Chains A and B, each alone.
Chain A
Amino acid sequence: MPVQNDAPGLDQSGKTHNHWTRRSLLKKGGLWGLFSLLFGGASAVAATAVTEDSGILSDAIGAFFQNHYNRMTKDEVQEALARIERRAKRTYDVDIEVSNDPPQPGVVYGYALNISKCKGYRKCVDGCIEENNQGRDPQIAYIRVLELDAGSLELNRSDHYYDSETVPQPGKIYLPIQCMQCDNPPCVKACPVDATWKEPDGIVVTDYDWCIGSRACMTACPYSARQFNWTEPKIPAGELNPHTHLLGNRPREKGVVEKCTYCIQRARKNRQPACVEACPTGARIFGNLLDPKSEIRYILENKNVFRLKEDLGCEPKFWYYTD
């Protein structure tokens, strides 16, 4: 894979590699333009187009042979990042930045959700979609908010599609469900090609370039937390979030399974997940389970918490509590 991003003088913007194709081509195009003044003809356009195509081809070849995330060398990871950036540029004409922040030492993420505060607004659902670059049509949402009758937590009587004039409705409670980043994740066991695994900071991630789309993980998940790209995800270019992570919200392709990563692109930069920030009620608490002074630890130690389907032994790192 030729990576020409270190060509001098190309990156006026000070940004990284993702510009190289277009920029260098434009420069070449400019030189060709001088020639074309003398010789006429559309050779410049043709030359540009040909080189552009070969970029697509070499990217396709590179993507095809891309190795498993955990087996790639540092250089190969950089190439993979650059490829994704170039593809986003081609597809959406947006400069995105794909990072590969490693897990932070001494951190295991945990989540707590106060169901007496959740009012069913579904702000978290849309906040998540804006952050994580899910396909809009068909719509993929990592969070499901369930409406239940007060007095029971039986999921089989839940309403996923409640659409009342206002929420909260009297006599109802609301239970948002998303990936719980299980400590003993059945989805990881199910994957035939190790495309999904648990990171040292507890986040269950998917290598979207390795997934073969068998959907065994979706069958295995007791929380329906995984979604499949049934077709090429469509995102309006203006809505693409350019701050991405290789294992997180980078643009995905058709035919792969995707999931919530507690906003790995944010969490590893110390930011709170988008659902936490989107929630106006303060029902959502995110933090480091290994930090005894963290809010999440206070809740786990001082509130009456429960976990959904704890009996299945998946050890979810997502707790519900009430005031």
Chain B
Amino acid sequence: MEYPILPNKSQDPRPPGAQCTSSRRRAVMLMAFGAVALLAIGTALYRAQAAEGESPASAGEKAQAWDQIETVGEEDEWVETVYDDGKWIIIGERGIGIPWYDVEPYQIPIRKWEDIPMYPCSDCHDKWPVNHEQRPMVEEHTDLVVDHGDGHFWCTGCHDGRGLDFLVSKDGRFIDMDLSYIQCGECHFEELKDWEYGSHGLRIGLWRGTRVLRNCVECHNAHSPAIAPIEPNAPPKIRGNLVRFSKPAVEHSEHSKVWERVAPKNN
């Protein structure tokens, strides 16, 4: 089992080549398939590559991703509308993080270059020393609300001062920002299992073929993961001449809960 988690903390996390071991392996595979793959990539890949810039390994990943997606979809236009080009990352043949033995392969979107604001963090944090003290944020990140872990969490619990472009696991290994679900799963392992097997979370794209899953943080804000109530969409509309036949719902609450009905008798 290969983990795309950096093997040890002594290694310098910054150089792009150190992103993950499996992508190195794929880079080798890519070289083996060489020109064929490059031809197959096409213009979409070119754009994707331009967007991602400095990571040739993930360009290979995208090539493979596009290849798979196109064999699944019938109509290119739908693939285009459903998949923003060049945003996928292949996680591998198995689920990552916890080695469930029979998890079907899946893909997740790349977020770190475009969708994570201010990434890479090292742009600023290279210049400032990390302050481990728990304190209110007054200069930067003032909009960040940490409502997670009942007040026990502080930035450095997940982000490590030694390399802020990465998350850090409980045993001190670095985790790529796009693989953040591994870190979520360290506590929420039941949810991670459900997510990998497909009973939790969103599958995007097609029902058939390679699964493309939304990452945890696309729905849950990692800093305050609870989802606030929202206004529901409009209730069913009744045909004009029938409105008088449907009266507003009666409040059933006082009858429906059996424990409330039996309570007075026992008092």
Contacts and interface: CB of A to CB of B under 8 A. Distances in A.
Contacts of A157: 252, 255-256
A151 B229 contact: no
Max count, chain A CB within 10 A of own CB: residue among B257, B258, B259: B257
B151 interface: no
A157 to B, nearest CB: 4
Contacts of B129: none
Contacts of B197: 295, 298, 302
Nearest to B255: A157
A104 to B, nearest CB: 8
Contact of A121 (B78, B203, B211, B230): B230
Given A138-B240, A269-B74, A288-B207, A161 B257 contact: no
Given A280-B219, A302-B197, A270 B208 contact: yes
A167 B229 contact: yes
A169 B201 CA distance: 22
Contact of A270 (B207, B236, B240, B257): B207
Contact of A167 (B208, B232, B246): B232
Size bracket, chain A contacts: 35 or more
Interface in A258-308: 267, 269-272, 276-277, 279-282, 285-288, 293-295, 298-299, 302-303
Given A151-B256, A166-B229, A298-B199, A160 B239 contact: no
B229 A168 contact: yes
Contacts of A272: 203, 205-207
A114 B202 CA distance: 12
Interface stretch (A16-24, A122-130, A213-221): A122-130
B206 A270 contact: yes
A6 interface: no
Contact of B236 (A161, A287, A288, A323): A161
A142 to B, nearest CB: 11
Contacts of B249: 159-162
Contacts of A122: 232-235
A286 to B, nearest CB: 5
Interface residues of B, number: 47
A149 B251 CA distance: 10
Given A157-B252, A270-B206, A282-B200, A165 B231 contact: yes
A228 B83 CA distance: 36
Nearest to A149: B256
A160 B209 contact: no
A271 B246 CA distance: 37
Contacts of B199: 112, 114, 285, 295, 298-299, 302-303, 321
Interface in A97-121: 112, 114, 117, 119-121
Nearest to A172: B253
A303 B197 CA distance: 11
Contacts of A287: 207
B75 interface: yes
Given A151-B258, A270-B72, A282-B219, 13 more contacts: A122-B233, A137-B237, A138-B238, A149-B257, A157-B255, A163-B235, A167-B229, A167-B232, A269-B73, A271-B207, A277-B204, A293-B104, A295-B199
5 contacts: A149-B252, A151-B256, A276-B203, A298-B197, A321-B199
List of 9 A-B pairs having minimum Cβ-Cβ separation, nearest first: A295-B198, A166-B229, A122-B233, A139-B237, A138-B239, A161-B235, A159-B249, A282-B202, A270-B208
Interface of B: 72-75, 78, 82, 104, 194, 197-209, 211, 214, 219, 227, 229-240, 246, 248-249, 252-253, 255-259
Interface of A: 112, 114, 117, 119-123, 125-126, 137-139, 141, 144, 149, 151-152, 154, 157, 159-169, 171, 230, 267, 269-272, 276-277, 279-282, 285-288, 293-295, 298-299, 302-303, 321, 323
